Structure 1
Amino acid sequence: MAVFRTATAGGLLFIMSLMLLGRRVEGEKEVAGDSVVYLGQERDPWRPLIRTTVNLVEIRSIKSSFQFRTFDPEGVIFYGDTKNGEDWFILSLKDGHALMQISKEDVLVSVTGGRKLNDGKWHTLEVSNKGKFVTLVVDGSPGLEVGMQSKQTQEVISGQLRLALGGILVNKDKLIVELDPQMDGCVREGSWLNLSVPWEAEAEELWLCHQNIQPGSYFSGKGLAVFNTSVFSIDEDQGFRLEFWGDFSQLDGTVLSVKSSQEQLMFTAVASNDTKEVVLTFKEQRFTLENTIKRLLVMFLKDSVKVAEREDESDAVTFLAGAESHPGYLTSVRGGRFAVGGLLGEGVIGSRFLTGCLEKVQVQGKDLDLDLSVKHMSVSSHSCPA
């Protein structure tokens, strides 16, 4: 069932063609409208990947369609506006469901619902304006529909319309529903208002979409994801638990690094394709596993660190914290930081950034969303090449 929100009564029918292509801007790269576009390419997360501007009098169609694929539950797909951003429209995902947000004159409206679209399959989305309604159709079936009407005199539509993919052109504070803008997803086969002129991209090259994908977090060897340990609930008896799933024989680089509240490097787990090993280091202690493992559990307890491969922990390896660390040892963990995909504080050189796919990461028994971290844009939070 669709969830409908309105910020004020009244308003005007939001007659806005939602997708289009435009003319080239000097110094920017032209992109064909039916190109395959990866929306998660490295940039400011709110900044559009590609955009265009067109005169409204040139628009002859009010229907556009494209194919979209993602495992990401949240992020911006496209944005359009008129009057230089006074009236705007945003299509995004929230919790895997399509979310439309519209601002027109004194009206703010959002609507969300339909089946989840973040299943890693290609879906055909069609957006159109039919009379008083803006409609989203998914794979030929009704998705979302929102109607807007005002007692005000309807003005003649003129001027320019801007469109952007993967970002927005207004201040994010204007949004009705807050969201994380970065979208680890792909768009292809766009048909935009029957216009054939190209989009404009600021990037010299657009990243390619993988032909096939699987759920997981992909690290390209260029960056890491950092979390403050303090945001997680840590019980004195249960400790702090991190789990990693994946084919460790296909990983190369730092899987995990942990620093204390005093910024001391406490623990690292580094996979190596050269030695076929996973090296675990806790302070001065060191242990080596074969890289044939599919799961790695790391538990920080009040006086030790326990590492295991199996669910029953029958193969657990224990590192003792040492008398000098007890009882403040776990407290220093609680106030520290941990990174997935690289060594904390080492910069580009010496960081041993991870290359490969982690199928799943959990903290305290719950799935970890890397979009909630401070991370490098090269890290794909929700998909890996298959």
Structure 2
Amino acid sequence: MQIHNSVISISVSGGQSINDGRWHQIMVKNEGDSVVLELDGAELLTLSQVSHAILGHPFLEMRIAVGGLLIPWKDLIIPMNTAMDGCLRRWNWLNTSSSWLEGTALDGEGTKGCFPSIHRGSFFPGGGLASFLLSGLPSGLSANNESWALAVEVSFSASPQKGVILAVSPAELAPILSLKLEDTDVVAQLGDKTVLQSPLPVGACPALALLLRVNSSELTLHLGPHVTSESIREAEFEALRRLWLSGEGRLFLGGLPGQGDTPLTQEGSFFRGCLHEIRVQGLMLDLDSAQYRSNAIWAYSCPGNESLGLSGTDGDAKLGGKGEVSPTLAASPLPS
């Protein structure tokens, strides 16, 4: 809870974590010269002698944002990413109905329904991708000048499909390295010729651990306990190494650029499923730091096992972790 006015600037936090995938009721009240925060009916934080009562001092204009802030994050007392990924319902601002909402994004393009239950991870619904500039990722070069290698670790859950999990590509060109699902197989490809294939386990699996490594001599794919490897050509390795160290390409998650209207469509479709963890050269990727992320992607929320599709509830609104709408308040379940 942050307060900034003519009297004081203060930021306070406390209490238990509420990013547990469950619904919580949050209430913020300005009573006299105190601001009170209640969680699930219990008083959690109280700040006294910091403000005047809002309703006792009419404003010509008041702006209310939900799911983000209307000021730059750098202007906060403690700078932080304020974009929320989660669901809100049963909104009530200043004891007023929601009929006065203006400038909201709740009915706009990319609006999502809410899952009955969620857990941690990034959900790709099969219609969007995220990309990272290679210049912002670790080079993989060591201080003792050992030979360069690339390591990608992914924990994922998905049903059999044709979809791109990950790809390394120069600009809008075909990928140099790709990792994708081909029905019941995981397929890794380097260049035009080197291809590794490993079958998905039979039956339901909550999450599969995958490790893809490329060094100067071979391409290796670890899928659970199974390991496959293939010798690679020097030219294939050098093309990947040069691109990565130049920082001029991009790393794609969940699909490839131009899918649907370019020849890249032949490389695969958008991935549908959950990426629970993505590490590249040892760095955990955060989708909030992506150069681009489709609004279709849930950055920090994956559906529960019973929720393979979107299941909306009257009055629920999904906030995708990329911005704010401008109306009311409510409860919030969100891993962030």
Query: CA offset at residue 157 of structure 1?
Result: 0.6
Matched, 1:339 2:252: yes
* Aligned CA distance change for structure 1 residues 304 and 324 (closer, same or farther; 3 Å): same
The 2-side partners of 1:364 and 1:146 are apart by: 44
Match of 2:295 in 1: 377
Task: Give secondary structure in 2 for the equivalent of 1:359.
Answer: strand
Matched, 1:286 2:195: yes
More strand by share: 1
The 2-side partners of 1:127 and 1:156 are apart by: 16
Contact 2:34 2:50 in 1 (8 A): no
The 1-side partners of 2:173 and 2:62 are apart by: 50
2:164 maps to which of 247, 251, 254 = 254
Contact 1:259 1:267 in 2 (8 A): yes
The answer to which of 328-337 and 353-362 deviates more is 328-337
* Aligned CA distance change for structure 1 residues 368 and 156 (closer, same or farther; 3 Å): same
Match of 2:325 in 1: none
Contact 2:8 2:50 in 1 (8 A): no
The 2-side partners of 1:147 and 1:261 are apart by: 54
What are the equivalent positions in structure 2 for 1:235-314 lying under 5 Å apart? 235=141, 236-237=146-147, 239-250=149-160, 252-259=162-169, 265-273=175-183, 276-284=184-192, 285-292=194-201, 294-310=208-224
Contact 2:148 2:241 in 1 (8 A): no
The 2-side partners of 1:243 and 1:307 are apart by: 10
Contact 1:280 1:288 in 2 (8 A): yes
What are the equivalent positions in structure 2 for 1:181-260 lying under 5 Å apart? 181-198=82-99, 199-200=101-102, 201-204=104-107, 206-230=111-135, 231-235=137-141, 236-237=146-147, 239-250=149-160, 252-259=162-169
Query: CA offset at residue 256 of structure 1?
Result: 0.8
Contact 1:257 1:340 in 2 (8 A): yes
Match of 1:52 in 2: none
Query: CA offset at residue 270 of structure 1?
Result: 1.8
Task: Give secondary structure in 1 for the equivalent of 2:243.
Answer: helix
Give a deviation string over 1:43-84, Cα, whole Å, max 9, x none.
Answer: xxxxxxxxxxxxxxxxxxxxxxxxxxxxxxxxxxxxxxxxxx
The 1-side partners of 2:148 and 2:158 are apart by: 27
> Structure 2: 5+ residue runs without aligned partners?
203-207, 305-336
* Aligned CA distance change for structure 1 residues 211 and 114 (closer, same or farther; 3 Å): same
Match of 2:58 in 1: 158
State the AA in 2 paired with 1:242: V
Contact 1:246 1:295 in 2 (8 A): yes
Query: CA offset at residue 240 of structure 1?
Result: 2.5
The 1-side partners of 2:77 and 2:65 are apart by: 19
Q: Percent of pairs identical after alignment?
A: 29
Query: CA offset at residue 347 of structure 1?
Result: 4.6
Task: Give secondary structure in 1 for the equivalent of 2:159.
Answer: helix
State the AA in 1 paired with 2:130: A
Give a deviation string over 1:179-236, Cα, whole Å, max 9, x none.
Answer: 2233110112334343334334344364211111122111122211112233225134
> Structure 1: 5+ residue runs without aligned partners?
1-99
The answer to which of 376-385 and 361-370 deviates more is 361-370
* TM-score where L is the length of structure 1: 0.63
The 1-side partners of 2:95 and 2:29 are apart by: 12
> How many residue pairs were aligned?
279
Query: CA offset at residue 342 of structure 1?
Result: 0.8
1:178 maps to which of 79, 82, 92 = 79
* TM-score where L is the length of structure 2: 0.71
The 2-side partners of 1:263 and 1:148 are apart by: 60
